[in-house]
Structure 1
Amino acid sequence: MSSPERTELLTLPGVLTAEQAAATVAGIAAQQRPDGAIPWFRGHHLDPWDHVEAAMALDTAGEHARAEAAYAWLARHQLPDGSWYAAYADGDAKAPTDLGRESNFCAYVAVGVWHHYLATGDDTFLDRMWPVVAAATGFVLGLQQPDGTVAWKREPDGTVRTEALLTGCSSIYQALRCALAVAEHREEPQPDWELAFGRLGHAVARHPERFADKSRYSMDWYYPVLTGAVTGPAAKERIEADWDRFVVPGLGVRCVTPNPWVTGGESAELALALWVTGESDRAVEILRSINHLRAANGMYWTGYVFEDDAVWPREQTAWTAGALLLAVAALGGDPATTDVFGVPATTPDFTPPCC
């Protein structure tokens, strides 16, 4: 399992000791199937986005072979059009349970692949995964709309669901940045990707009216900041604007308002967004506030209904634990994680002349 040296880097006072970090890493690893798949938990489904998030967490702990196995699973089961199905029963590629193909789910492989490369320096891995990243990016950009947004999904019959989701498109923005980094490293310029990246970033940062109204969900609040689409004073203003609406002091972050339900994954991701804006102290405060979700085995309950004093649902998801480890890794200065989630000094820019 993860070495003591690596889990020492995942310590954060009041959040994780080295022993606790090791237990959390072991908990994620215990969910992974022998074929590399990482379902939410054994017996539940796998989706490609959360599968990658869990793999990235394994890399923060030095579990590079396990993370590589997760990416190999994606490579083996990528569909001919570059996509993956939205859900697979217990990570069994022969048992998809949702035949839709969601754009942000498919894009996120680029984030994970670049993160793994930065953590390992393994050019052979990057060469092997480049066709996977290129095909997935092609599928996603095939869903980009004239206004720069990316459609949510392609249905099993091929129909495109044209509504754009702000959280999903923000995640795609980060994924395109990572795909471009992979391409640049390989000296394979992708000017069309750069244009698509700029158009999408412009839509996320400047045109909220182009997205379906999901403002009740906290992810729509912080994801444009987490992924670097909204930066600087605008990022801080965005966080402050809805802080009291979503943050429950001492308990964490609501998944959706006005429901009295805080969730570990959203809380950890908000902590990452706060780190991105330079608010490390607040990020640590948020992570400390979800200690009540930590289970005895080192994993984290998905959520807590505070009006009923009840853990709900009764599940410990690999991606919840993964999000927490990624936030701790960023706060601790892990180079791969800070590179992937940090906002670059310069990024490709494109502002449509008509917009």
Structure 2
Amino acid sequence: MPDHPLPEVSGVLSAGQLRQTVAAIAAEQSADGAIPWFRGGRLDAWDMVEAAMALDVGGEHGRALAAYEWLAGNQRPDGSWASEYRDGRVVAPAAESNHAGYLAVGVWHSWLSTADDGLVDRLWPAVRRALDLVTAMQLPTGAVGWALRPDGSADDTALLTGNASLYQSLRCGIALAALVDDPQPDWDLAVTDLGAALRTRPDAFADRSRWSMDWYYPVLAGAFPGPAADERLGAGWDTFVVPGLGVRCVADRPWVTGAETCELALALAAVGRTGAAVEQLAAMQHLRAEDGSYWTGLVYADDARWPVERTTWTAAAVVLAADAIAGTSPAATLFADPGALDRLDPASGRPPPVGADRSDGRQARG
């Protein structure tokens, strides 16, 4: 869609370069709408939603809808998806909670992008089933078990990054519930308890503090607002950020990854640190390939790409970070305030532009 406005981050990425990146994601999409990591590679629901969101930013709304319809068509009766598919076949059948939850984020993002009520109506049953599963997997601590056991009960291990993603998913689901006038009070209770666990109960989660995602994702998801967000980001900065290269995936490895770097940029943009977000987006451009796709990571001690793959979700993270920084698409504010339905502009039905005073907004739909 050559006339569709794309984000532009001065000195880092032009709109034309981002259009090329969106095209690189689209090139990996199968005819049935599925978006694997790369053609012939792994597919999981979370990363597929991320790729579909980037397609919406790029104006490829039909492709994004096809991806969401693939997910709806492949959802299992309990609301879950298999943790891994390849070429349409289930490879790993485990049901992971964060995979189930993320559809809500994608559908809310797509509605913000398109104002397509029909899309929401078609996908709402799948979102509701998925988030009902998530709430059923919530543990007494307020955290959510990472997967279902073979007997259908929730595993009592909870992962911090996955739970932060679920916090965002529930907030987006609650916004969708208001949009379709189908309140879900259990989700309101679940997100309140989950937010408290993320902020005050570190012992509720498995210790994966070596991983950068556990550092920044609670900020990205909105669980640490205000000064608490700055304090958390500052505490891990020197551990994970490699100046000029991006973010380490794991604290004790000389390996920077593009998606983690862009997700940190999203977290920074969400708390208003736009300059720092731009710096991180710029730092990971050494992973860009000539066709606009992105290598997953670099082992900088060896100056070697690893793994040797260019993934749709890495490219998608670039597009979403650029949009959050530039504020171009109607969905650019999602990470800063995912559930702000009561502050939608009454004329457009979408959030006001990034940086605008949103205090006088009113709910657009009852």
TM-score (norm 1): 0.93
Distance 1:346 1:131 in 2: 22
Q: CA deviation at 1:315?
A: 0.3
1:148 aligns with 2:142: yes
Partner AA of 2:9 in structure 1: L
1:167 aligns with 2:161: yes
Match of 2:105 among 102, 111, 115: 111
Q: CA deviation at 1:258?
A: 0.7
Q: Which range moved further: 265-274 or 119-128?
A: 119-128
What is the RMSD of the two structures over their aligned residues, measured on CA atoms?
Answer: 1.5
Match of 1:319 among 313, 320, 325: 313
Q: CA deviation at 1:157?
A: 5.1
Quick check: 1:99–1:155 contact (8 Å CA) kept in 2?
A: no
Match of 1:60 among 39, 44, 57: 57
Quick check: 2:209–2:215 contact (8 Å CA) kept in 1?
A: yes
Q: Deviations over 1:121-151 (max 9, x none)?
A: 1111111111000000011111001111000
Counterpart residue number, 1:253: 247
Distance 1:77 1:173, change over 3 A: same
Counterpart residue number, 1:34: 31
Distance 1:53 1:230 in 2: 22
Q: CA deviation at 1:346?
A: 7.2
Match of 1:208 among 202, 208, 226: 202
Q: Which range moved further: 101-110 or 202-211?
A: 202-211
Counterpart residue number, 2:15: 18
Distance 1:29 1:214, change over 3 A: same
Match of 1:45 among 42, 47, 72: 42
Q: Calculate percent identity across the aligned residue pairs.
A: 54
Counterpart residue number, 1:75: 72
Q: CA deviation at 1:15?
A: 2.1
Distance 1:59 1:99 in 2: 29
1:89 aligns with 2:83: no
Q: Could you say what secondary structure the match of 1:158 adopts? A: coil
Partner AA of 2:239 in structure 1: R
Distance 2:201 2:270 in 1: 22
1:300 aligns with 2:332: no
Counterpart residue number, 2:122: 128
Q: Deviations over 1:201-239 (max 9, x none)?
A: 110011111100000000000000000011100000000
Q: CA deviation at 1:80?
A: 0.6
Partner AA of 2:64 in structure 1: A
Counterpart residue number, 1:227: 221
Partner AA of 1:218 in structure 2: S
Distance 1:345 1:82 in 2: 22
Distance 2:119 2:163 in 1: 27
Quick check: 1:267–1:286 contact (8 Å CA) kept in 2?
A: yes
Counterpart residue number, 1:3: 2
Distance 2:153 2:177 in 1: 30
Q: CA deviation at 1:347?
A: 9.9
Q: Deviations over 1:138-185 (max 9, x none)?
A: 111110011110000014553532100000000000000000000011
Gaps of 5+ in 1: 349-355
Distance 1:329 1:347, change over 3 A: closer
Q: CA deviation at 1:14?
A: 2.5
Quick check: 1:101–1:156 contact (8 Å CA) kept in 2?
A: no
Distance 1:19 1:338, change over 3 A: closer
Distance 1:49 1:281, change over 3 A: same
Q: Could you say what secondary structure the match of 1:99 adopts? A: strand
Q: CA deviation at 1:337?
A: 2.9
Q: CA deviation at 1:187?
A: 1.4
Deviating 4+ runs (over 4 angstroms): 344-348
Q: CA deviation at 1:345?
A: 9.0
Q: Which range moved further: 9-18 or 192-201?
A: 9-18
Partner AA of 2:140 in structure 1: P
Partner AA of 1:142 in structure 2: A
Quick check: 1:39–1:51 contact (8 Å CA) kept in 2?
A: yes
Distance 2:154 2:312 in 1: 30
Distance 1:136 1:313, change over 3 A: same
Distance 1:79 1:191 in 2: 23
Distance 1:85 1:336, change over 3 A: farther
What is the correspondence of 1:186-197 to structure 2 with a 5 Å cutoff? 186-197=180-191
Distance 2:204 2:91 in 1: 30
Partner AA of 2:2 in structure 1: S
Q: Could you say what secondary structure the match of 2:252 adopts? A: coil
